Structure 1
Amino acid sequence: MTNKFQIGSFQLMKSMNRSLILNIIRRHEPISRSEIAKLTKLTPPTVSNLVKELLQAGIVIEQKLGESSGGRKPTLLTLNGDNFHVVGLDVGSRSIKAIITTITGKLLVKKNFPLPPEVTKEMLLNFLKEAIHTIKQSGHINVDKIIGIGVAMHGIVDIEKGESIFAPNLDLQNIPIKEVLEKEFKMAVKVENDARAMSLGELWFGHGGSYNSFVCVNAGRGIGAGIVINGKLFHGSNCISGEIGHMIIDVNGPKCSCGNFGCLQAFASGPAIAEAVKKRIKMGYSGLISELAGNDPDKVTGELVYEAAKKGDQLCTAALEQAGHYLGIGLTNLIHTLNPDKIIIGGGVSNAQDFVFDAINRTVLQKAVTKPAKNTEILISKFGDDATVMGAVALILVELFSTRTAA
């Protein structure tokens, strides 16, 4: 059954002037009506009328009185963050991570749902629906407060249709995620590539908030990038911007899943790191990693390599440092092409930052062509493994707070 509160609140927030006011409140709260009028260039009566509607809907609340400039103390406004919730999904090749947050990004519930080794389109869509139904029923969440669902999906995504065009790690094509989920849950659904979603999460909640131009690199089972230019997400003409995992680093390198040879992903992704270690074990290496894998090279994973490296396995330490070196080459290419203010790294490989981060910085320092380029700030995402799913939440917030008028 359609929840009129959810749809009505979403539509109320989305009108242009209301979105403009909400965005100002979000960025400057607590803030007075007169300050909103100055920043938005709307007339004070218009601001008062729109704020009245937002107060009546419970989207905005009044707070303590502000400082007086001679007259009556102004009442300050803030977002009623706890009154509205968002579902975020990160769809990987092995699991679906699901969270519910407030519209201010406060985490309320988080759950992981494993996926079987092989799934069909229909199975995946059913798993998505099941994950959302399950998380809605957990943690004493008031489901009437949920106003939207954001989905971060690896591979090529048609953001207008909300369709996964190609999900290489699942070997699936043309998955109608938005259509199916909106029909099931009767609320707004936004779908985006995982790396681009991650960059939105950093823009809204993380390290990217104070920068106009930056790049987020999602390094896990694949490698992708989300590019923010002048505060806006860059998609490119065919929605394949940021596919840096298929940037060719060495034409004589190993074959990539895309069919080319020597892609960055074939050197520095989680599976590539594991593959490099497997080869050495098969050639006779018998260190700690062999014990952890039960002397079965096929049981070696990127996560296991990291565990062995933390316990001092030299092969695994060297493999992670080598991956950092290749990531550094890829980031140097990004710096030379886009010249971003900063680069933020997230995803599973970023968990091994103790082993990869120094190698990344050392490589950029060696290979970037100018001193400012060498000093490009490179950070690990503040959200770690949750960077992408927080980005999925941000997809709905962008939809709510976006305006055609610059604030």
Structure 2
Amino acid sequence: MNRQEILRKLRENKRVSRADLAKLTELSRPCVSSLVDEMIKEGLIHEVGVGESKGGRKPILLEYNFQAYGVVGAIFEGSTLYMSIADLSGDLLVDYHFRLPQPTNGEMAIRCLEQGLWTLLSKSGFDKSRLLGIGLGLPGITQRRDGTVSYAPSTGWMGLPVKQEIEDRLGLPVMIDNDVNLMTLGEFHKGVGNGFPNQVYMYVGTGIGAGIIIDGQFYRGFREASGEIGYMMVGQVEKLGRGEYGVFERNYSAPVIHEKARRVLPSFEGESGVVKQLIQLAEDGHEKACQLLDDIYRHWAYGIANMVSILDPELLILSGEMIDIGESGVEKIQDMLTEWVPYVPQIKMAALGNKAGIIGAIHSILEAFHVENSNKIYLSGGYIYENK
């Protein structure tokens, strides 16, 4: 605990002396000196010069070494894997992305993770022994402590020890979380959500999901299933089997919208940017494109109204395919919400793109891990891993 307090103060105060650290931490000078010397040997702290004298010998200044260790952030977003290595300040050093062949499965996903890790290490020159671990965003309802995915229509990982299997294959500690949760954390820390303690992040892609932050704290729910808005009863209701997509995402996720567009617009092309293409066709006067677009906006707004009426957020962040609706689309949704709910939150477009999930993954692992000595890493909750 004393080590961590020293490191925390060094992260907050650049270039301070041992005497300053003793005052900041309220620890004794001998204690601070001993622990600082220990962490200098481990590479966590640098001596970086001499400070101004306050009447005696000039003090030696200390600085936290953000490059001592690194972390990896990874997220499966749709059919693409995004990965990055970051230093201990959270700054991204090297990026990697790979489009998974379709249809994919859990084994293919793990092989892509292995390939991505070695590619990152090769490009960055980072030694694997200096990695604290990997924060990984997965589709579905993740159980972070158990290391399983309890509900995942797209991967076949339901109930399996995903975390343990990935750790065994990669030889590194792994923290799993829901992909949209990590995107939410990314925008909260570094994007348009920064400074908003009460916010909802909504994502429309292969599925539909949301992340919820209340009073600056991420809300996960009793079974870590909060934000699974794809299961809202929005749209045409069909009989569902366990492990399948929910009603909302069966009717208004990106792949389904694409299929609807192909049925009414034979000339419709491609799977990416489906909403952007519909908007262009509507602007060109295609009546069926206008009708489909209005139907999409209305049903997305139904889902938003459900969330807003319960959570009353200050900010709503739109992401995924919703990014392309533009100011006119936001105005249409705002007008509908004004009719339906007492208070309409501020609405912003996500700013970080595919970096949001990576940044969220990196922040989550930096907050959960701390270096206890040069070869052990402690995860909050009591789990210990040897960093070999």
| TM-score over 0.5 for the pair | yes
Which residue number in structure 2 is paired with residue 3 of structure 1?
none
Residues 157 and 239 in structure 1, CA contact (< 8 A), matched pair in contact too? yes
Q: Distance in 2 between matches of 1:202 and 1:119?
A: 28
Cα distance, 1:30 vs structure 2: 3.0
Structure 2 residue 242 is the aligned partner of structure 1 residue 273: no
Count of matched residue pairs: 368
Residues 320 and 356 in structure 1, CA contact (< 8 A), matched pair in contact too? no
Summarize deviations over 1:47-101 as a string: whole Å, max 9, x none. Answer: 5654554444333446688899999998776543333322111124422222222
Structure 2 residue corresponding to 1:331, chosen from 285, 296, 304: 304
Q: Distance in 2 between matches of 1:205 and 1:75?
A: 33
Structure 1 residue corresponding to 2:210, chosen from 220, 225, 246: 225
Counterparts in 2 of 1:363 and 1:19: CA distance versus 1, 3 Å: farther
Residues 350 and 384 in structure 1, CA contact (< 8 A), matched pair in contact too? no
Residues 257 and 274 in structure 2, CA contact (< 8 A), matched pair in contact too? no
Q: Distance in 2 between matches of 1:125 and 1:351?
A: 31
Counterparts in 2 of 1:268 and 1:256: CA distance versus 1, 3 Å: farther
For normalisation by structure 2, the TM-score amounts to: 0.78
Instruction: Name the SS of the counterpart of 2:299 in structure 1.
Output: helix
Q: Distance in 2 between matches of 1:63 and 1:226?
A: 41
Residues 137 and 357 in structure 2, CA contact (< 8 A), matched pair in contact too? yes
Q: Distance in 1 between matches of 2:380 and 2:351?
A: 27
Cα distance, 1:175 vs structure 2: 4.1
Q: Distance in 2 between matches of 1:36 and 1:356?
A: 53
Q: Distance in 1 between matches of 2:105 and 2:297?
A: 34
Summarize deviations over 1:82-136 as a string: whole Å, max 9, x none. Answer: 3332211112442222222223232222222222222343333223222222222
Q: Distance in 1 between matches of 2:10 and 2:215?
A: 21
Structure 2 residue 323 is the aligned partner of structure 1 residue 350: yes
Unaligned runs of 5+ in 1: 1-15, 294-299
Counterparts in 2 of 1:187 and 1:170: CA distance versus 1, 3 Å: closer
Structure 2 residue 92 is the aligned partner of structure 1 residue 107: yes
Superposition RMSD in Å: 3.7
For residues 136-155 of structure 1, the aligned pairs below 5 Å read: 136-155=121-140
Which residue number in structure 2 is paired with residue 198 of structure 1?
183
Instruction: Name the SS of the counterpart of 1:332 in structure 2.
Output: helix
Structure 2 residue corresponding to 1:177, chosen from 159, 162, 169: 162
Residues 268 and 323 in structure 1, CA contact (< 8 A), matched pair in contact too? yes
Which residue number in structure 1 is paired with residue 349 of structure 2?
380
Counterparts in 2 of 1:168 and 1:403: CA distance versus 1, 3 Å: closer
Instruction: Name the SS of the counterpart of 2:110 in structure 1.
Output: helix
For normalisation by structure 1, the TM-score amounts to: 0.75
Which residue number in structure 1 is paired with residue 361 of structure 2?
392
Structure 2 residue corresponding to 1:359, chosen from 311, 332, 340: 332
Counterparts in 2 of 1:173 and 1:61: CA distance versus 1, 3 Å: same
Which residue number in structure 2 is paired with residue 4 of structure 1?
none
Q: Distance in 2 between matches of 1:114 and 1:199?
A: 22
Instruction: Name the SS of the counterpart of 1:327 in structure 2.
Output: helix
Structure 2 residue 276 is the aligned partner of structure 1 residue 306: yes
Q: Distance in 2 between matches of 1:270 and 1:22?
A: 45
Q: Distance in 2 between matches of 1:318 and 1:64?
A: 67
More helix by share: 1
Aligned partner letter, 1:382:
A
Q: Distance in 2 between matches of 1:200 and 1:328?
A: 23
Using the aligned pairs only, state the percent identity: 29
Q: Distance in 2 between matches of 1:326 and 1:65?
A: 63
Aligned partner letter, 1:327:
W
Counterparts in 2 of 1:261 and 1:181: CA distance versus 1, 3 Å: closer
For residues 6-405 of structure 1, the aligned pairs below 5 Å read: 16-23=1-8, 25-26=10-11, 28-30=12-14, 32=16, 49-61=34-46, 79-250=64-235, 253=236, 255=238, 263-281=247-265, 290=267, 293=269, 300-307=270-277, 309-310=279-280, 312-313=283-284, 314=286, 319-320=292-293, 322-353=295-326, 356-369=329-342, 373-374=343-344, 376-400=345-369
Counterparts in 2 of 1:32 and 1:368: CA distance versus 1, 3 Å: farther
